[in-house]
Homo-oligomer: A and B are copies of this chain.
């Protein structure tokens, strides 16, 4: 079984390889994992605008992967940008959005959860994502550590320490599980430390999304084409390819 992890931004190759290494560690032995990155997109995603910027190129990689016969794809951003679009454009390949996947994992492991995210600028969109997932009623709170995505790894201890502080806060508010709202947090492997220290489940979105992708892909559990229709113009043959959906005025 092959699973691709698609980074929706032009990540340095070294970091992409490091992440691929971790994903391989986490994966089932029978899973082949490959990290792919777009050539053009946001440097990191801390706003809805950057989410949207990432979609056109990522869509191409998704469609390409499905054509190759890849069974599963993990979208490399916990805001799940473009998830519904990628599902519209594919049919058989499982595509997992780590944001929603992590919320479901939190609910499954222990009911009421909070999300700890990177910057205040992403808080509103986490609430929206929770509502979209159906789990808004299980969401206790959303807090931001206010460390830019690209700085999270610079001082892992500082990041962890802030996450622990907020983790204690949300536990007092009634959260019985915590979701980390950023893939870069995931690849820092701080969730595991937090879980040990706080004694509550802390969902690592990178790991959770991979495992759910493997679980679903191994039994062909792709998405509902009744929920995510192929764009009518493509389906009816009015346009021939993805690219033709973008119309450029002369």
Q: Interface on A for B, CB 8 Å cutoff?
A: 9-10, 26, 28-30, 39-44, 46-53, 55-56, 59, 82, 84-85, 88-89, 96, 100-101, 104-105, 107-112, 119-121, 124-125, 127-128, 131-138, 141-142, 148, 171, 174, 176-177, 199-201, 203, 207-208, 211-212, 214-216, 218-219, 221-233, 242, 245-249
Contacts and interface: CB of A to CB of B under 8 A. Distances in A.
Q: Which of A40, A56, A136, A245 is the most central at the interface, judged by chain B CB atoms within 10 Å of its CB?
A: A245
Contacts of A108: 96, 100-101, 104, 212, 216
A176 B222 CA distance: 13
B111 A227 contact: yes
B47 A85 contact: yes
B28 A231 contact: no
Contacts of A177: 224, 227
A200 to B, nearest CB: 5
A10 B110 CA distance: 29
B247 A49 contact: no
Given A42-B246, A85-B49, A135-B135, A224 B211 contact: no
A121 B110 CA distance: 13
A32 to B, nearest CB: 14
A64 to B, nearest CB: 15
A226 B246 contact: no
Given A40-B249, A52-B52, 4 more contacts: A101-B108, A109-B222, A177-B224, A200-B225
A236 B37 CA distance: 26
A227 B124 contact: yes
Most B-side CB within 10 Å, residue of A128, A141, A231: A231
A9 B249 CA distance: 9
Contact of A138 (B9, B50, B110, B134): B134
Given A40-B248, A135-B134, A227 B112 contact: yes
